[in-house]
Amino acid sequence: MADHSRQSEAEERRRLGASDEPVEDKLAQEFENTVTEGANRLNRTWRALVVTGLFGGIDVGIGLLAMLAVLDATGSKLLGGLAFGIGLYALRLAHSELFTEDFLVPINAVVARHGTWLQLLRLWATTLVTNIVGGWAFTWLVVAAFPRFDDILVDTAMKYIESGLTVETGCLAVLAGFTITLITRMNQGANDGIATLANSLISGFLVVGLSMDHGALTSAIIFAAMHAGADIPYRDWLVWFSWVIPLNMIGGLLILTIPRLVRTWELVRKERAGARDSSAEDGVAKHD
């Protein structure tokens, strides 16, 4: 009876939708786009991976500069966070990436058998390292150009470092990973520049304006403060970084990516079958 009911529901969705998929049409289209984009990311050359990640860190530096200008003029952390979103908007338009943006799109491709877990680890590791390197280098340029922001940078960064790992900061790191991953998903459904801009400003407002701990974004603030003379050894940053990244991953993967895969599991199974059939056909063609 239950099987018959589920079958009837699936047939009704197919009848009402524009496609034959057992989920809503928009979800089906979004899933297809996500798998395609994820496969492209997984199969990038090393050069493309490095350059994309470096520019991700540089774009974050643009957001930092905008945040400092607003903080200096208004003293408002929330407005400063909103301004930080300019860097995230630049990141979207330039097709560069943050480490946490790769918690959703490439995983869909791997689960759908259009990539391997080793490729995913390669993407994650390279993007994370190059985000950090790009952010470190560009924030030096920002600090050298605008020494009047030194006090703001030092005060802001010290609050992150001195807080340490507590229930509060741990939850902030989880929320940061979830928020950036959610914005990534929202951008998958954005068809115009205004929506992308709004998503970028929202993420800056929430993550930076509310002082969430984010591996790439907050590292840019900390590095800038270090360049400005803050008493923050690299060892202290590394300790902070070592607990923030895993919690960012929990927020992005556990709260959003996994439930999203469950929501579209019928599409995953269909895509897997298609990939398996394609591989079999390629094998036969090579044998012939």
pLDDT digits (tens, 9 = 90+) for 42-85: 999 999 999 999 999 999 999 999 999 999 999 999 999 999 99
pLDDT at 252: 94
Lowest-confidence segment of 86-95, 117-126, 138-147 by average pLDDT: 86-95
User: How many CB atoms are closer than 10 A to CB 171?
Assistant: 14
CA angle, 221 then 222 then 227, to 5°: 100
**Sign, CA torsion 250/254/257/258:** positive
- State how far the Cα of 36 lies from the Cα of 246, in Å rounded to an integer: 27
pLDDT at 245: 96
- Asked whether 106 and 36 are in contact (CB, 8 A), the reply is no
The pLDDT-based confidence of 32 (bands split at 50, 70, 90) is: confident
Eight-state DSSP code of residue 149:
G
pLDDT at 157: 96
What is the token pair recorded at 40?
A: 């492209």
* Mean pLDDT, residues 90-102: 88
- State how far the Cα of 108 lies from the Cα of 257, in Å rounded to an integer: 8
- State how far the Cα of 138 lies from the Cα of 133, in Å rounded to an integer: 9
What share of the chain in percent tops pLDDT 90? Answer: 67
pLDDT at 5: 57
Residue range 211-265, pLDDT digits in tens: 999 999 999 999 999 999 999 999 999 999 999 999 999 999 999 999 989 988 8
Max CA separation in the chain (angstroms): 72
Return the exposure string of 137-161: e unless at least 16 CB atoms fall within 10 Å of the residue's CB, then b.
ebbbebbeebeebbebbbebbeebb
Residue range 174-222, pLDDT digits in tens: 999 999 999 888 887 666 778 889 999 999 999 999 999 999 999 999 9
Burial bucket for residue 286 (CB in 10 Å: 0-12, 13-18, 19+)? exposed
* Helix (H) and strand (E) counts in the chain: 13, 0
Lowest-confidence segment of 60-64, 101-105, 139-143 by average pLDDT: 101-105
pLDDT at 132 over 90: yes
127: nearest Cα among 68, 60, 223, 224: 60
The pLDDT-based confidence of 92 (bands split at 50, 70, 90) is: confident
pLDDT at 21: 59
What's the predicted TM-score (pTM) here? 0.86
246: nearest Cα among 161, 160, 165, 134: 165
pLDDT at 215: 94
pLDDT at 22 over 70: no
pLDDT at 4 over 70: no
pLDDT at 227: 97
In order of their start, the domains of the chain are 23-265 (1.20.1080.10)
pLDDT at 19 over 60: no
pLDDT at 9: 56
Please, where are the H alpha helices in the chain?
Answer: 2-16, 25-42, 46-74, 77-93, 105-111, 117-145, 150-163, 167-188, 193-207, 217-227, 234-249, 258-263, 265-287
The pLDDT-based confidence of 270 (bands split at 50, 70, 90) is: confident
pLDDT at 104: 85
